[in-house]
Amino acid sequence: MIATLLFIVFLAMMLAGVPIGASLGLAGAAAIAIANADSQWFGLLAVPQNFYAGLGKYPLLAIPMFVLVGSIFDRSGVALRLVNFAIAIVGRGPGMLPLVAIAVAMFLGGISGSGPANAAAVGGVMIAAMSRAGYPASFSASVVGAAAATDILIPPSVAFIVYSVLVPGASVPALFAAGMIPGVLAGLALIVPAVWLSRKHKMGALESTLPRPPFWKSLREAVWGLAAPVLILGGMRAGWFTPTEAAVVAVFYGLFVGMFIHRTIHFRDLFVILRESGELSAVILIVVSLAGIFAFSLSTLGVIDPVTRAIVNSGLGEYGVLALLILLLITVGMFLDGVSIFLIFVPLLLPIVQYYKWDPVWFGVILTLKVALGQFTPPLAVNLMVSCRIAKVRMEETVQWVGWMLFSMFLVMVLVLVFPELALWLPRQLGY
């Protein structure tokens, strides 16, 4: 009865427009109070204890740092230089600018751990460039929003950090390595419909008339941006620093490049950068801590075990259950952001993962692929929201283009489902 009330209160508050974090925390606190109505303080001392416990985890220190990295590289001019270098390589022609947008978004995924920050950095450069070349604004916004979704798969990734905190046996380095091949495959899968749609609908008619940047000059200007993922990921692999320390190194590297090499960041800009990244980090971490109260109420009320038994005894079998979970998460992903999906559903799904002996790292990649799809699936679509704002178009105008890209990335998720080694081979080779 109390467990049912917990979910009713949570859903009612969400439908009433209460922020996701507050809905999780208040519903959990109400359930704890009702369950402990006979005790002093109604057991509410568990609320601050679990609020702190949800936040007091070392890997979470990396989240504000990687969010800050995204903001720094957004303003440093690195994206523009990477775009020019990519154009110098692939040249001009129908479909080439969408290809460049996706490739640059994938590369920036090796620097920042935030999809919306990636969409802002790439969109700020590419949407205007694609508009000058004759691409419709709705198509440009669709390409950038979809491309930025590869950010949470290609390490470093905020989503993987949150997942590692929730799931024992899934370390951050192992998840980072596991996301690399699926992330690259997702980017390649997006390139196919982007180029095909460009040529089918004869977009970018003016692209061939625009100048091609000189190769060696573009390479010299892009070299500092090209070195960033090598420093971050190579340093972690070499054992020079942990993923959390790598985030701090990336912050100082980005500031050095922006302030002293490209000189696009000035001291007066630091306050704005710190404020924006601080606000976004605070939102993420408050949701994480409030979800700790919700998770505690789920475990103490005995909700998880009955749900697990009902699912595994449903007669669907292992693959039927997996298909059901994917369908559920696809539906939920249209309305909730990725961090919220992890915080709400991972505690419920973890016993099912353990029952079927699924590899937690592989399941984390599947779940993150689903979250990546949700980042450009209307109506929420946080990445698409950012790119549409830059392109000054309504999200409804992107549906005719986004559908093809969703289908392409969905096929990648199916491939990882059928061939788990696509996610597990690299961590195994690296010894994680």
- Percentage of the chain modeled with pLDDT above 70: 94
Q: Round to whole Å and give the CA distance between 70 and 115.
A: 9
Cα 293 to chain centroid, rounded: 23
Spatial CA neighbour of 148 closest among 175, 202, 112, 181: 112
The Cα angle at residue 404 between residues 157 and 400, in degrees rounded to 5: 115
Q: Round to whole Å and give the CA distance between 192 and 197.
A: 9
Tell me if 314 sits within 8 A of 321, measured CB to CB.
yes
Cα 80 to chain centroid, rounded: 22
Q: Round to whole Å and give the CA distance between 343 and 235.
A: 29
pLDDT one-digit tens code per residue, 48-68: 887 777 777 777 777 788 778
The per-residue pLDDT for 43 is 62
Tell me if 33 sits within 8 A of 42, measured CB to CB.
yes
Coil, strand or helix at 47:
helix
What angle, rounded to 10 degrees, do the helices at 115-132 and 78-90 form?
50
Helices (H), 257-358: 267-300, 304-312, 317-333, 338-355
Cα 197 to chain centroid, rounded: 25
- Extract the residue ranges of the chain whose pLDDT is less than 70: 1-3, 37-43, 112-114, 299, 301-305, 334-337, 380
pLDDT one-digit tens code per residue, 328-346: 887 777 666 677 788 788 8
Q: Round to whole Å and give the CA distance between 115 and 148.
A: 5
> Which tokens is 222 given?
């892009």
| φ, ψ for residue 212, nearest 5 deg | -95, 125
The per-residue pLDDT for 1 is 60
DSSP letters along 26-92, please?
HHHHHHHHHHTTTSGGGGTTHHHHHHHHHH--GGGGHHHHHHHHHHHHHHTTHHHHHHHHHHHHH-S
Give the list of residues 6+ apart from residue 414 with CB closer than 8 angstroms, or none. Answer: none
Q: Which residue has the tokens 């942990």?
A: 242
pLDDT one-digit tens code per residue, 231-265: 888 888 777 888 778 888 888 988 998 898 888 88
| φ, ψ for residue 134, nearest 5 deg | 100, 15
Spatial CA neighbour of 67 closest among 125, 151, 182: 151
Q: Round to whole Å and give the CA distance between 31 and 226.
A: 50
Please give the DSSP secondary-structure letter assigned to residue 247: H
Give the list of residues 6+ apart from residue 158 with CB closer than 8 angstroms, or none. Answer: 62, 63, 66, 67, 113, 114, 152, 284, 339
Straight-line distance from the first to the last Cα atom of the chain, in angstroms, rounded to the nearest whole number:
43
> Which tokens is 92 given?
């001009």
Residues constituting the chain: 432
Tell me if 111 sits within 8 A of 229, measured CB to CB.
yes
Could you tell me how many helices (H) and strands (E) the chain has, helices first? 20, 0
pTM, whole model, 2 decimals?
0.82
pLDDT one-digit tens code per residue, 175-228: 999 999 999 999 999 999 999 999 998 888 777 777 888 889 988 988 988 888
Coil, strand or helix at 356:
coil
Q: Which residue has the tokens 């209460």?
A: 18
Give the list of residues 6+ apart from residue 282 with CB closer than 8 angstroms, or none. Answer: none
Tell me if 75 sits within 8 A of 258, measured CB to CB.
yes
Q: Round to whole Å and give the CA distance between 82 and 107.
A: 9
Cα 79 to chain centroid, rounded: 19
The per-residue pLDDT for 114 is 66
